[in-house]
Amino acid sequence: MLLPGVVAFPLRQLFKLGLIIIQAVFLLYFIYAAYDIRLHAIKTFGHIIHEFDPWFNYRAAEYLAQHGLKKFFQWFDYMSWYPIGRPIGTTIYPGMQIWAVAIWEALKHVPQTKVYLAFIPPLRPLANWARRHDWPFIPAPLKSSLEIGPMSVNDICCMIPPWFGSLASIFTGLLAYEISRSVNAGLMATGIMAIIPAHIMRSVGGKFDNEAVAMTAIVMTFWLWLLSIRTPKYWPIGIFTGLSYINMVAAWGGYIFVLNMIGVHALMLVLLGRFNSGVHKAYSIFFFVGTLGAIQIPVVGMQPLRSLEQMGPLLVFIGYQVLAFSDFMRHKKKMGTMEFVKFRIMMCILAGLALIVVAVLLYPTGYFGPLSSRIRGLFVKHTKTGNPLVDSVAEHQPANPRIYATHLGLPLDYALLGGLICLFHRNNGFYFMCLYGFIASHFSGKMSRLVLICGPIVSVTCGIWCGFLLDQVLEPFLLLLGKKGFVAKKLSPAGNAPPVSGDGKSGKAGKTDKAKPARKEGKDGKEAKRQDNIELEEYEEEFRPGGAMQIKRMVKSYYVNMYSEGSLKDFQIFREKLDTSLPLVLLRAVAAVAFVFYMLTLSGMRTAVPEYIEHCKTIGEHVASPTVMYAVKQKDGSNYIVDDYYKGYKWIEANTPEDSRVMAWWDYGYQITGIANRTTIADGNTWNHEHIATLGRTLTSEVKRAHNAIRHLADYVLVWGGGQRDDLGKSPHLARIGNSVFPDHCGDDDPKCMKFGFYQDRSPTPMMEKSLLYKLVEHNVKKGVKVNEKYFKHVHTTKHGLMRIYEVQNVSQESKDWVADPKNRLCDVPGSWYCPGQYPPALSKLISKRRNFAQIEDFNRKGEKSAYTRLIEKEKGEL
């Protein structure tokens, strides 16, 4: 102790109390920052659902709230994918909807109440100071009460992304703490995750999308997994890991990433010699509880036991039981090292042979499901999939350096430094961090959308680096106030390491020593010598013989013994002096003060950090546009809200019969059902390529030809116009997708439909100029362009011309009635709720022209490869 105890103790307690208060204040600040940065859309546009997919998610939440969980899972939606319909309950990940409705139900029982927050008033002077110095995310005014009460399902769905954004930030901080055991690292990781764009892009207010909830589930599951294997005694936490994983499975199809991450990490622990009874119990409980819960979710079903992409974790689970049984027999029969090695090898061989026999028996039955095309795509080098529908979606393209710079930015520059710091504390979490970093970088490189999974690991590693610097700044002051410094471990002289009994446990003092005296000769004596100077780590429970752990001990002992005992003692004495010598500690304190002064006055971080925060705020505002409306800055600086799309859908709801069917391009289906509450031809999902291709072909066909099909399917046609995000810009994709199923559209000699598009002078090609889509968008807008109102009658154009609606003439009531007749629905079994519709007989000639579509990575179904797919294969050199 550098100061007298009577002085140091109270000062140290005051210092620690002040430090805890500061950390608590910053934690609250970071949590609020995560919430506030996601509220731009709510503040600008109100509680409005965003984009396309969130409208489907919101509509599903409303259905769940009105009908309950049982009917929700048996919901066959005849308002989408007309005329065939879509089973919602078995094709949706219901986690978001369940959370939304659970919160809605809970708040219904809470009266409108103001909750007084006693800790807020003391913070007001600090908040005022921060606001005067231009700190972001400071509420004005700082309210000391919180209003709680019933909310609508719509408002809850809009607020879930900001709420869960804050939760994800907290769990990211806990994950960083579990890896580094530094409170400051956890605190900084929380702050970085709160505003990192990779996380914001899927969690702004109103963006009721799967990833908004899933990101919280991902980091919570990872944190609980690492906590459950911190020491062998923590294994019961595996129960909570499994429950958190169930939440993840319900929330997003990316649960496969979480499952395989934990499975590969569990395998890595075996290869590192870190397998023990605690790890075995933690992983087994996680896998059992998680899988049992996962198979209850209809969209998942038995996939965890059948799907090839989930087979790895299952094999790890089986392997863990084999290893645990081997350890059980080692203890029971008190096996020596070689005997145990031979026994374990024999058990592994027998287990492997048994698995091969089971696989051979099951494979011909079709039990195993193949890898999905998207999963295979993550391991195949490509820029195009061979599916023109998937290739038309920007977020399915590989990431590039600009995307990483935009969505990760400054923290990415310091991520590697955080990883290097953890090299000096290689607990189980360190290896998980390395694995996560590698997998996240690989997958995001294949699909830019997955840059979001890089957010947590970059926040963790950068947070660890920042936390390390803060710890080094604070350490000398804590030492001056009496904190216990470095204590050297006692070095055992050669040959005097803890003896190893036949069951692999280290000898202990007292009765154990009498019952099992230390053996220094023969085989066990040699094993003991290899353990010179080696102590059990927190994640170990014994000196396990005959495996990777023993090999590691031998190697470690070899390198330790390369140095003389005097050299090791000299190093330890020097290390002790760094923490106990007053001059050295004072020098460290001066260096810490100088470092802080440099960072606050001279360092480039003075500008880099504010610029990065401003960048994050800009990204938050950029992704906050709900798509159905957007803001335009006026000369006076105020926002003018352009809500043409939203008002257009509302016009349809108010001015068309309830049984109206609206045809539009695939993108808008969710909004048609969610806002206009009308039947749509396709709803934005990609599950039926042939149906989407039929829609694409129809819209890009000549007017009369298109009408011949549309009159049997729709009452109205909707197009986006006005030049901003209009349908003409994306129309070449529509033609290309249609041609992938209807080879007579553009022809196999033109797989990319180059004959449908614009010339360099923006004039349309002949095929486009004759197309229905071109006529509908440019009707009475471009000189000389009119649609024949014998087929399509213009009924509404929104205020700014961004949406145009046409009534289909001479609609076939016969086809409409035929589709509506329940007798024409194909139920899987009599009395079932699963009853897809059929195309009306009048369209049989058109439907007969379709050919099944098979893409490059798709061997799940039979189908002839389209000319487009063959072209992409040729470009990739696969032919």
Strand stretches in 748-810, DSSP E: 792-797, 803-808
Is pLDDT above 90 for 491? no
CB 607 within 8 A of CB 495: no
Element housing 853 (H / E): strand 853-854
Residues 749 and 870: beta-carbon distance below 8 Å: no
- Residue pair 303/369 in contact (Cβ under 8 Å)? The answer is yes
pLDDT at 520: 44
Instruction: Please name which of 408, 308, 321, 295 lies closest in space to residue 368, comparing C-alpha atoms.
Output: 308
> Does residue 416 contact residue 423 with C-beta atoms inside 8 Å?
no
Q: What are phi and psi of 499, to 5 degrees?
A: -70, 155
List 797's β-bridge partners, or say none: 804
The residue among 778, 658, 667, 648 whose CA lies nearest residue 723 is 778
pLDDT at 575: 82
Question: CA-to-CA distance for 828 and 836, rounded, in angstroms?
Answer: 8
Token pair, residue 816, equals 């409409």
Any idea what the Cα angle at residue 635 is, between residues 631 and 640, rounded to 5°?
Answer: 25
- Which candidate, 735, 707, 730, 704, places its Cα nearest to that of 719? 730
Q: Which amino acid is at 375?
A: I
The neighbouring-strand residues paired with 235 are: none
The whole model's pTM is what?
0.88
Rounded average pLDDT over 844-852: 88
Q: What is the pLDDT of residue 856?
A: 39
Helix 454-480 to helix 210-228 angle, to the nearest 10 degrees? 50
Please state whether beta strands 76-77 and 630-633 pair in parallel, antiparallel, or not at all (unpaired). Answer: unpaired
Nearest 5°: the CA angle 425, 427, 428 is 155
Q: List, in sequence order, every residue forming a beta bridge with 642; answer none if it has no partner.
A: 630
Q: How far apart are CA 820 and CA 843, in angstroms?
A: 15
The owner of tokens 């486009």 is 768
The distance between the two most distant Cα atoms of the chain, rounded to a whole number of Å, is: 105
* pLDDT higher than 80, residue 248: yes
The better pLDDT of the pair 191, 667 is held by 191
Domain spans of the chain? 7-136+145-307+369-405+413-475, 511-564, 644-865
Residue 668, pLDDT > 80, answer: yes
Interval 290-320: pLDDT, tens: 999 999 999 999 989 988 888 999 999 999 9
Q: How far is CA 359 from CA 300, 313, 691, in A?
A: 21, 16, 36
With beta carbons less than 8 A apart as the criterion, state whether 735 and 746 touch: yes
pLDDT band at 211 (very low <50, low <70, confident <90, very high): very high
Q: What is the pLDDT of residues 767-782, one digit of tens each?
A: 999 999 999 999 999 8
Distances (CA, A) of 64 to 72, 205, 534, 645, 671: 6, 21, 58, 26, 18
Cα separation, 796 vs 524, in Å, equals 89
Mean pLDDT computed over 173-179: 97
Contact 538, 428 (CB under 8 A): no
* Residue 610 reports pLDDT greater than 80: yes
Residue 77 has pLDDT above 50, yes or no: yes
Report the C-alpha dihedral over residues 738, 839, 84, 810, rounded to 10 degrees.
90
Residue type, 879: L
pLDDT digits (tens, 9 = 90+) for 729-755: 888 889 988 988 898 898 888 888 889
Burial letters for 357-391: b for 16+ Cβ neighbours within 10 Å, e otherwise? eeeeeeeeeeeebebbbbbbbbeeebebbbbbbbb
Name the class of domain 644-865: alpha beta
Listed in sequence order, the residues at least 6 apart from 654 whose beta carbon sits closer than 8 Å to its beta carbon are none
**Pseudo-torsion of CA 226, 229, 231, 233, nearest 10°?**
120
Provide the pLDDT for residue 871.
Answer: 58
pLDDT band at 507 (very low <50, low <70, confident <90, very high): very low
- Segment 685-697 mean pLDDT: 87
872 pLDDT tier (thresholds 50, 70, 90): low
Cβ neighbours for 524, distance < 8 A, ≥ 6 positions apart: 336, 499, 500, 501, 502
> Checking DSSP bridges between strand 145-148 and strand 630-633, what pairing results, if any?
unpaired
> Distance between CA 656 and CA 812 in Å, rounded?
17
* Contact (Cβ atoms closer than 8 angstroms) between residue 175 and residue 464: no
For residues 415 and 176, give the distance between their C-alpha atoms in angstroms, rounded to a whole number.
12
- Alpha-carbon gap, residue 490 to 16, rounded angstroms: 30
Q: In which band, very low, low, confident or very high, does the pLDDT at 878 lie, cut at 50, 70 and 90?
A: very low
Q: Evaluate if residue 389 carries a pLDDT over 80.
A: no
Residue 395 has pLDDT above 60, yes or no: no
| Region class of 763: left (phi > 0), else alpha (psi between -120 and 50), else beta | beta
Task: Tell me the CA end-to-end span of the chain in Å, nearest whole number.
Answer: 75
Q: Is the pLDDT of residue 675 over 90?
A: yes
pLDDT higher at 660 or 390 = 660
According to the model, what pLDDT value does residue 514 have? Answer: 40
The predicted pLDDT at position 258 comes to: 95
> Does pLDDT of 377 surpass 80?
no
Helix residue spans in 481-532 (DSSP H)? 511-515, 522-530
> Does residue 457 surpass a pLDDT of 70?
yes
Note the pLDDT of residue 168. 97
For residues 672 and 662, the answer to whether their CB atoms sit within 8 Å is: yes
pLDDT for the residue numbered 508: 38
Give the pLDDT of residue 500.
47
Checking 336-339 for CB contacts under 8 A at 24+ apart, the result is 336/502, 336/523, 336/524, 336/545, 337/523, 337/527, 337/545, 337/546, 337/550, 338/523, 338/546
E strand or H helix at 593, and its extent?
helix 582-601
The whole-number average pLDDT for the span 76-83 is 93
CA 266 – CA 321 distance, rounded (Å): 13
User: Which has the minimum average pLDDT: 65-74, 299-308, 587-596, 795-804?
Assistant: 299-308
CA atoms of 734 and 739, how far apart (whole Å): 9
183 within 8 A of 174, measured Cβ to Cβ? no
Mean pLDDT computed over every residue of the chain: 86
pLDDT of residue 865: 61
Rounded Cα–Cα distance for residues 493 and 557 (Å): 12
Are 420 and 368 in contact, with CB atoms under 8 Å apart? no
> Which pLDDT value is given to residue 379?
55
Which pLDDT score, from 0 to 100, does residue 581 have?
87
Least confident of 28-37, 512-521, 827-836: 512-521
Whether the bond between 141 and the residue before it is cis, its omega within 30 degrees of 0, is yes
Q: Are 273 and 550 in contact (CB under 8 A)?
A: yes
